[in-house]
Amino acid sequence: MRYDSITEAIGNTPLVRIDPDVHGLRNIDLYAKLELLNPFGSVKDRAAWNMARPHLTEAVEHGSQVVELSSGNTAKALAVIAGMHGLGFKSVTNRMRVPEIKDLLLLLGAQIEELPGQSECLDPTATDDPLTLFHRNLSASGSAYLHTDQYFNPRNTEAHLTGTGPEIVKDLDGRAPDWFVACVGTAGSSTGVARFLRETDPDVRVLGLVAAKSDFIPGIRTIDEVQEVGLFDPDTYDTMESVSADDAIEGMLALNRRCGILAGPTGGAAYFGAVRHLRQLDAESAERQVAVFIVCDRVESYLSYVRKRRPDLLGRPPRKNSPADLSDAEIRTAPAIGVGDAQAWIATDRPLLVDLRSPYAYAALHIDGSVNIVDELFAELVQGGLPFSRRQPVLLACPVGEQSARYAALLTRMGHPDVRSLAGGIIAWRDAGAPLVRD
Amino acid sequence: MGGEPLYLEPRLGPRLRSLLESAELLHMLTDALGSPLNLVVPDQIAENLERFRSVYREHHLSGQIFYAHKANRSSALLRRLAATDAGVDVASLGELQHALGAGFTPDRITATGPKNPEFLWLAARTGVTVSVDSASELDQLAALVRAHKLSPVRVLLRLSGFETSGVKVLSRPSRFGTPVGELNLLLKAVERHAGAVDLAGVAYHLDTTSVAEKATALEGCLEALEVCRSRGLRPRAVDIGGGFGVNYLAHGEQWERYTTELTAAVLGRRPSLARGGHGYGLRAESGTVRGSLGLYPAHRPVAGARYLDELLSQPAASLGGRPLAALLLEHLHDLYTEPGRALLDQCGITVAKVLEVRSPDTGAELLVRLALKADDVALEEHGVLMDPVVIPGNGTGPRTKTGGEPVGVHLFGSLCLETDMITRRTVFLPRRPAPGDLMAFANTAGYAMDFHATRAQLQPVAHKAAVWQDGDTWRWCLDDQYWPITPPGEPH
Ligand SMILES: Cc1ncc(COP(=O)(O)O)c(C=O)c1O
């Protein structure tokens, strides 16, 4: 495979059969359409390229900025495409809730504008929502924009009508699947594919999946939010069902760990929703059937999303010398010293004074002569053993004396004979009128 | 009626639940004091304060919780708070006088908002902390202090226009505060007025439900305090304003179902849920919903003290990713908050008599006329959708869902104006109300009870009474008669 441009690598993604041992369906062959293997990482590469391509020459002439309301994958693809053509890209959104994606977009040169949250003190007579204002600004300003308008642009749907749909049929030897399952975001992929499949075989049944209303699955809309999408037509779907964030992550894990498909949460949601829906049919009918679902994008961008919802999945083996292993009694009886005594001790025995706060706080104000080792760093340091000599007395300080008590207990347990925690911390030190400096 | 009834049952804590079950008391009070009637529950506000305090404690933070007085003009609530360790945030001369009269000492008061000279003078005279909106306000304050030979006044600099690094957050323009980009000018003014003003800290108040925007502002304040310190100033406090929100509804599913049906109604897929097809900010454009829902997110699992906790737990990206609470603590800053609505959660109800129940011959919803003006219970004005609780006239407690058919009603008021609708929407009730019943609107203490009340058309403004539990019975007095020593059991 030899290409002149990366955009030629968009499309022609594999259709991979899911092992029946994983999904457990006896009569249904389940296939995953691996849109995650598009060059910019998602199903949106097709739509972004198809929407932008016809306008690029003109945009380059005018030096237009590409703009889109996107929280993720479309923005990613457009940022790359814009960059390849020497154009700027701006994403306006109120849904960018996954920090890695935000950082990745910035890395790709995107400019991001987030819409403000809802007002606490509503003005019910206000008619201008932020999106209306955005559209008005686009049309009013004299500068040139290439607004791809993914929620309303028919070329979004078309990319799948002429690409994704035909590829599925080709890989199924010219037949449409009995079932097609897709998550609904802009509705572009589900609508385009469904339309092509129905042209091939009007009996195809289409399952549209949305996020449960109180949940958040990046890239998918809730049942209400799809109503704001111009490309969404309820008649496209034989059934709409919702999937929770937990379900999506469960499905994602199955694809990641058992199928070797590094899908993100929407792929997981599609898999989970497909199996949940097909299980009953599978039990009721002995006829051989084929179902296809779409895997939109990759898992790597969603680690913080997973960390927030399922921290257990990212658990690490327990560490040695961790303050977490200490008992309450050990912490309570850790050697401590009050502000007055500490001042005297510092004057006579010159203990090493360790301030466990962040460098910013330390730089602002600290006890004269102290060294700053942030607690997180300190925790790593002690994993390898005592970081200073047993003959060197140590005074630990933190804001209120809580963390320093933990570490004093830990160091004591590790065999240090003379470590103490500053009771009441730097706050007590300040409140006692003892001096703090910034150097 | 067009499908299943769509209830939006209010969330009731133990106090409000017990109060609403006291039908006899409610009838007696409305008979005696008239309809509408506002009841406030002072003990609840002390309990709410304690919830906020416990969040401070969990994060080891010190600093004051200032009740935003503007949310309710009750004396009872204010005096009950005066008996705790709370502070009060006043936004007018009248509120300042009220707070001083309720027993708040000046060290527990901050003055915010637009200030006229009298307000500024009394604040400076009594020595309350002034949250300064602009350099010119600072000049004005300093001039007053010098002209009248007053002691230096503690000031907070109210900032706005915080920006994130990397990602620009578009924000609703605020009329209040000085853009953080002009901090240097403001600090020059502080230095120029040394001796007249004393910099206590920086402040912001953002009108948004978004935790992320507030976290950005708080981070910006931490940086601003560093700028102050680098110039040799020693401010200690960050005042993060209010806006912690209230959860009004008992059931999240009811709210989700309602808003889904509202979207369907706007698209014409079900009968309208409000008079005139009102869509609360949503509209249909060729089969697609446009606009944004102009409703308070009435079911909010994270509100009040929990919202504060969530905000304080946000990582500060530009300061090494540590949680904001840890940074406040490590930098030895005091945290000030100004909850209004959130401190008044479950602190009051508004009761009105049903005067008339009319069945229009069109077969549409019942029209229910209440002895109440829309301004007296401004739930809709604040975008809060919540069902009233019907208390039957026979004194047997609130009607339950059993017995009687559900009905859809429109509630309208006692003003001779088409616009005097208590609710634009169809309100579903478990059964048909009757004249002589009471309708109680729960949880109206925060902004919904007297914020908009007027004497239009010479109709009475609601009386207000304070109620408290004495063992199994509820006791009451007029709001103005309540002092924290009034309830029995308190030392006289
Ligand atoms: C300066 C200030 N502080 C506090 C509040 C109280 O906000 P809330 O009642 O939402 O807590 C307001 C309300 O607008 C305000 O303007």
The model's confidence at residue B350, banded by pLDDT at 50, 70 and 90, is very high
- pLDDT of residue A354 exceeding 50, the answer is yes
Give the helix ranges, DSSP H, for B133-251.
Answer: 135-147, 183-192, 211-230
- Average pLDDT along chain A: 91
Q: How many CB atoms lie within 10 A of CB B156?
A: 23
Give the helix ranges, DSSP H, for B354-489.
Answer: none
Position with higher pLDDT, B461 vs A76: A76
Q: Give pLDDT, residue A126.
A: 59
Position with higher pLDDT, A72 vs A396: A396
State the Cα–Cα distance between residues B131 and B204, nearest whole angstrom.
9
Instruction: Tell me if A406 sits within 8 A of A331, measured CB to CB.
Output: yes
Q: Which atom of ligand 1 is nearest to the CA of B207?
A: 14
- pLDDT of residue B30 exceeding 60, the answer is yes
State the Cα–Cα distance between residues B53 and B62, nearest whole angstrom.
9
Q: Give pLDDT, residue B401.
A: 43
The model's confidence at residue B272, banded by pLDDT at 50, 70 and 90, is confident
Q: Give pLDDT, residue B171.
A: 63
- pLDDT of residue B397 exceeding 70, the answer is no
| Average pLDDT, integer, range A304-331 | 80
Helix (H) or strand (E) holding B38, with range, is strand B37-40
- pLDDT of residue A127 exceeding 60, the answer is no
Q: CA of A348: how far to CAs of A343, A351, A418, in Å?
A: 9, 9, 14
The dihedral built from the CA positions of residue B155, B158, B163 and B164, taken in this order, carries a sign that is: positive
Selected residue of A118, A400, A426 to mutate for chain B interface (largest B Cβ count, 10 A): A118
Q: How many CB atoms lie within 10 A of CB B193?
A: 21
Tens of pLDDT along B222-255?
Answer: 999 999 999 999 999 999 999 999 999 999 999 9
Interchain CB distance below 8 Å, B294 and A131:
no
Q: Give pLDDT, residue A115.
A: 77
Residue type, A278: L
| Average pLDDT, integer, range A364-370 | 94
Q: Give pLDDT, residue B1.
A: 44
State the Cα–Cα distance between residues B207 and B365, nearest whole angstrom.
36
Interchain CB distance below 8 Å, B208 and A357:
no
The dihedral built from the CA positions of residue B117, B123, B126 and B127, taken in this order, carries a sign that is: negative
Q: What is the pTM of this model?
A: 0.83
Q: Give pLDDT, residue B379.
A: 86
Judged by a CB distance cut-off of 8 A, whether residue A130 touches chain B is yes
**Closest residue of chain B to A94, computed from CA coordinates:** B169
State the Cα–Cα distance between residues B183 and B225, nearest whole angstrom.
10
| Average pLDDT, integer, range B294-308 | 93
Interchain CB distance below 8 Å, B170 and A115:
yes
State the Cα–Cα distance between residues B167 and A103, nearest whole angstrom.
9
> In this structure, what is the dihedral angle of CA atoms B27, B69, A118, B336, given to the nearest 10 degrees?
-130
* A184 half-sphere exposure, CB direction, 13 A CA radius: 31
The model's confidence at residue B282, banded by pLDDT at 50, 70 and 90, is confident
What order of strands is seen across the sheet that includes strand A15-17?
Answer: A15-17, A28-34, A289-295, A179-183, A205-211, A239-243
Q: Give pLDDT, residue B280.
A: 85
State the Cα–Cα distance between residues A54 and A81, nearest whole angstrom.
12
Q: Chain A: give the shortest CA distance to residue B271, in Å.
A: 17
Percent of residues, chain A, with pLDDT higher than 70: 94
φ, ψ for residue B344, nearest 5 deg: -95, 10
Which positions in chain A touch B425 (Cβ < 8 Å)? none
Tens of pLDDT along A207-225?
Answer: 999 999 878 898 889 988 8
Position with higher pLDDT, A354 vs B268: A354
Pocket test for ligand 1, best of B48, B52, B70, B159 (most atoms within 8 A of CB): B70
DSSP SS3 for A99 = helix
| Average pLDDT, integer, range A50-63 | 94
Q: And the tokens for A78?
A: 């457009």
Q: CA of B17: how far to CAs of A84, A297, B11, B14, B20, in Å?
A: 63, 49, 9, 5, 5
- pLDDT of residue A97 exceeding 80, the answer is no
The model's confidence at residue B151, banded by pLDDT at 50, 70 and 90, is very high
φ, ψ for residue B364, nearest 5 deg: -80, -170
DSSP SS3 for B442 = coil
| Average pLDDT, integer, range B377-403 | 76
Which positions in chain B touch A364 (Cβ < 8 Å)? 226, 229, 331
Q: CA of A51: how far to CAs of A34, A327, B336, in Å?
A: 21, 61, 50
- Average pLDDT along chain B: 90
Q: Is the CB of B158 under 6 A from ligand 1?
A: no
State the Cα–Cα distance between residues B177 and A231, nearest whole angstrom.
42
Please state whether B61 falls in left (phi above 0), alpha (psi between -120 and 50) or beta: beta
Burial label, B468 (beta-carbon count in 10 A; 0-12, 13-18, 19+) = buried
Tens of pLDDT along B324-343?
Answer: 999 999 999 999 999 999 99
- Comparing CA positions, the residue from A231, A187, A129, A134 lying closest to residue B282 is A129
Q: Give pLDDT, residue B55.
A: 98
- pLDDT of residue A162 exceeding 50, the answer is yes
Q: Can you tell me which residue has the tokens 């010219």?
A: A174
Tens of pLDDT along B154-183?
Answer: 999 999 988 766 667 666 666 678 999 999
| Peptide linkage before A154 cis (omega within 30 of 0) | no
> In this structure, what is the dihedral angle of CA atoms A271, A274, A279, A284, given to the nearest 10 degrees?
-150
| Average pLDDT, integer, range B300-315 | 95
Position with higher pLDDT, B363 vs A334: A334
* DSSP strands (E only) in B63-213: 66-68, 87-90, 109-111, 129-132, 153-160, 167-169, 178-179, 197-203
- Do the interacting molecules here have an ipTM over 0.85? no
**Which residues 395-434 of A have a C-beta within 8 angstroms of B?**
398-400, 402, 426-427, 430
Q: Give pLDDT, residue B423.
A: 84
Q: Give pLDDT, residue B492.
A: 47
Instruction: Tell me if B377 sits within 8 A of B441, measured CB to CB.
Output: yes
Q: Give pLDDT, residue A61.
A: 93
**Closest residue of chain B to A366, computed from CA coordinates:** B331
> Residues 6 or more apart from B189 whose CB is under 8 A from it?
B135, B138, B139, B142
Instruction: Tell me if A358 sits within 8 A of B330, measured CB to CB.
Output: yes
Interchain CB distance below 8 Å, A360 and B60:
no
Q: CA of A225: how far to CAs of A212, A214, A237, B260, B290, in Å?
A: 11, 12, 16, 9, 10
Percent of residues, chain A, with pLDDT higher than 90: 72
Give the helix ranges, DSSP H, for A201-324.
Answer: 245-253, 265-284, 303-309
Q: Give pLDDT, residue B382.
A: 85
| Average pLDDT, integer, range B191-198 | 96
Judged by a CB distance cut-off of 8 A, whether residue A115 touches chain B is yes
Q: Give pLDDT, residue B278.
A: 81
- pLDDT of residue A154 exceeding 90, the answer is yes
A427-431, B139-143, B488-492: which has the minimum mean pLDDT?
A: B488-492
